[in-house]
Amino acid sequence: MNSSAKPVVWITRKLTDNTMARAAQKYEVIDNPEDRTFTGDEIIELSRDVDAILPSHSEVIDARVSAALSDRIKIIANHSVGTDHCDLKALGARGIVVTNTPDVLSDATAEIGMLLMLGAARRAVEGDRMVRTGNWTSWSPSFMVGTQVSGKRIGIIGMGRVGQSMAKFCRGFDMDVHYFNRSKLTPEREAGATYHDTLESLLGVSQFLSLNCPNTPETIGIINARTLALLPRGAILVNTARGVLVIEDDLIEALQSGHIAAAGLDCFQVEPGGNPKFAPFDNVFMLPHIGSATRETRDAMGARALDNLDAFFAGKEPRDRVA
């Protein structure tokens, strides 16, 4: 790259106008106005023409792709908190810097967690369909009775930024917050929450269970037939983290048996698309992985990714470096 030329940055998905306008000030931008998803081979091919990639979690940069990226690539500045779509070890071996966008999407994702929890508990899918189809024809005290959220006990798996935001909102509903995490938080961050040093201990008291942990080898399939059985009968599951945390067939069996009363799901093992096996269940409230999808958060994510690029090309250590 000519030292006087702008670095060439490939922004793989359609980002906000504010993000694109800022990017154009310092970089020669290759964009994706059609907002399509790229295959691994396409990522490899396009890497020959750019100095940096600003991808989303839809672009899978696994070991094979990492090994074949152009030597011209110096940094991958993710437009996401999660980095499970990137093989950090393989990219690190190539000397490619990788960053993410923490902090800025915690509240937005926790808002979706609350929406899912309330929607699942209060039979939103069933009620919405009833009104839309003109089938709301009667009322009685026994009509559409759901589960009250306020005052209940919630277990949170993963008390990072999103988990702490979820706990903050749950306290607003006067919920009793319990959590399982790799380590105990400081009293200030716990804010009165109860720590469990084993997953089994947490599950046993969780009337509601919120998944807010990352996708790691230890957490894949953490919600399965065994762990679901440890929840109190009638518990409600919420997942705003990653679909691979849940063995979906096991969850379906638990819903069919009535052991799990309802579920609120924003992520699935197959994305996009989800799992059509959930479709017949009125007690499963589903969204298409939109936890961070607010205008404010998308602007903040774009700004954070560009902050990392700016730092790197200025010869500084990016704030959010993960590899």
Q: Enumerate residues 6+ apart whose C-beta is below 8 A from 11.
A: 19, 20, 23, 29, 30, 31, 32, 54
Burial of residue 314 (CB within 10 Å: 0-12, 13-18, 19+) is exposed
Identity (one letter) of the amino acid at 288? P
In 80-121, DSSP assigns E strands to 97-99
The yes-or-no answer on residue 289 being catalytic is yes
Q: What is the spatial distance between Cα 287 and Cα 56, in angstroms, rounded to a whole number?
A: 19
The yes-or-no answer on residue 271 being catalytic is yes
Strand partners, 265: 239, 286
- For residue 322, count other CB atoms closer than 10 A to its CB: 17
Q: Is the dihedral of CA 66, 67, 72, 74 positive or negative?
A: positive
Q: What is the spatial distance between Cα 213 and Cα 159, in angstroms, rounded to a whole number?
A: 7
Catalytic residue among 242, 248, 298, 304: 242
Catalytic residue among 57, 289, 298, 304: 289
Q: What is the spatial distance between Cα 126 and Cα 200, in angstroms, rounded to a whole number?
A: 32
Query: Hey, what are 141's tokens?
Result: 């005290």
Q: What is the spatial distance between Cα 52 and Cα 257, in angstroms, rounded to a whole number?
A: 50
Q: What is the dihedral of CA 213, 312, 36, 104, to 10 degrees?
A: 40
Please give the distance of CA 154 from its chain centroid, rounded to a whole number.
19
Q: What is the spatial distance between Cα 201 and Cα 226, in angstroms, rounded to a whole number?
A: 13
Catalytic residue among 42, 190, 253, 271: 271
| Positions marked active-site | 242, 271, 289
